[in-house]
Structure 1
Amino acid sequence: MEFSTIWLFVVAAAALLIIPGPAVLYIMARSIEQGRQAGLVSVLGVSLGGAVHVLAGAVGISAILMTSATAFTVVKYLGAAYLIYLGCKTLFSASDNKASEIAQAPQKKWLKILCESALVEVMNPKTALFFLAFFPQFILPSAGSVSGQFLLLGAIFITLAFVSDSLYALLAASIRKRMNVSAKLQNRVTGYVYIVLGVFSAFASPAKT
């Protein structure tokens, strides 16, 4: 690929990433609920989930998903249900004592947060739709392997997203410190954010980006 094409892609991707989307709201909710490290682990998890979509898109699986209304609907509702489940779990299982225990032994929670974050992104079919709609605008069949170009653009996008999402995670963690409110209130806010994201995901349509 030509450098000018890659540079144009970087500029376009950066402009899109500045606007917070569902993934950013999820990451910020994690940071507000459990602090900076949990937010950054969520960023890594979302990046891993995005990598799955990039690989799927490169081999054509995402294209098949987008052409099957049934497959899209199944994945969409599974993802929405999982977000709503996380929200309800956060709302009903939160307590100041439990939050204190998490703060004292966070290392036991990182793998769980990583897996949950990756799963949330993997089960978001709109990510696959976005990649399939956005990346081809910068791919030239004459430049070589289309799959290779898709993977390259995917790697660039995920790297940019990782940096952008990390900044949002740090911002949310800073807000959390300044809020100085009880863990119970923090978890209520986080739980409602998850539920709203789940409901929003449930109304996702293949025709929308």
Structure 2
Amino acid sequence: MFELSTLLSYAAVVIGLFLIPGPAVVLVFMRTAQGGRAVGVATGLGIACGDFVHAMAAAIGLSAILMTSALAFNVIKLVGAGYLIWLGVQAWLEKTGDPAVEAARPRVTARQAFLQAIPAEVLNPKTALFFLAFLPQFVHPERGSSFLQFTVLGLIFVVLSALYSAALALSARPLGRVLGRIAWLHRWKGKIVGTIFIGLGLKVAVQQR
């Protein structure tokens, strides 16, 4: 179905795209800092699942709606932006600095991080448009089922995404421990995380097709 050179080229391009920092990278780092490596890895897996949804949508043609309908694009864009802003407001309103409060507050679990990361990625219309424009470059109908080719490419993307996110989570925790020793940063971490999420939401809200 695919030549080895095609798969290697595809993997190289995908890895190159991962190296460009974006909302997914920030989300993994923030969740790792908040809850540890397991939470960071779970966030990456949630993002990978969201990517797979986009890949399957591109495979069956649903993403084409976003390319041709300004209304559909704007609705999904605003829903996604609202979700990120909601996460940011939650983080902003958390009280920090009091050790008793810190100990009593329930932390974000790996399951919660996973479930929150999926809609954060699914509701990003830019991701849908990326898959619609990018994957077809490696799909050749003369080599077999286009749907199957889309599926294979989507699965490769998901696996690479999960591995890259796991690597980020594993490398971010030592940095988080160092930063955690800085008193003022510990007190303001909720505000910092919240501001980043709100900023990402506003960025999504103003992005154009």
1:62-82 alpha-carbon deviations (Å, 9 max, x no partner): 112221110110000111011
Q: In structure 2, what is the Cα distance between the partners aligned to 1:116 and 1:32?
A: 16
Equivalent residue number for residue 38 of structure 2: 37
Q: In structure 2, what is the Cα distance between the partners aligned to 1:163 and 1:142?
A: 31
Q: Aligned letter for 2:78? A: Y
Q: In structure 2, what is the Cα distance between the partners aligned to 1:35 and 1:98?
A: 19
Q: In structure 2, what is the Cα distance between the partners aligned to 1:93 and 1:155?
A: 37
- CA pair 3-26 structure 1, distance change in 2 beyond 3 A: same
Equivalent residue number for residue 79 of structure 1: 80
Identity of aligned residues (%): 37
Equivalent residue number for residue 91 of structure 1: 92
Give the unaligned 5+ runs of structure 1.
Answer: none
Q: Aligned letter for 1:69? A: A
CA contact (8 A) 2:66 2:72 kept: yes
CA contact (8 A) 2:45 2:165 kept: no
Q: In structure 2, what is the Cα distance between the partners aligned to 1:94 and 1:112?
A: 20
TM-score (norm 2): 0.90
Kindly report structure 1 stretches of 4+ aligned residues shifted beyond 4 Å. none
Q: In structure 2, what is the Cα distance between the partners aligned to 1:54 and 1:185?
A: 38
- CA pair 159-101 structure 1, distance change in 2 beyond 3 A: farther
Q: Where in structure 2 are the equivalents of 1:78-157 lying within 5 Å?
A: 78-95=79-96, 96=98, 97-101=100-104, 109-157=109-157
- CA pair 40-83 structure 1, distance change in 2 beyond 3 A: same
Equivalent residue number for residue 174 of structure 1: 174
CA contact (8 A) 1:46 1:121 kept: yes
CA contact (8 A) 1:30 1:190 kept: no
CA contact (8 A) 2:139 2:149 kept: yes
Root-mean-square deviation over aligned CA pairs: 1.7
Q: In structure 1, what is the Cα distance between the partners aligned to 2:104 and 2:44?
A: 23
Q: Number of matched residues? A: 203
Equivalent residue number for residue 10 of structure 1: 11
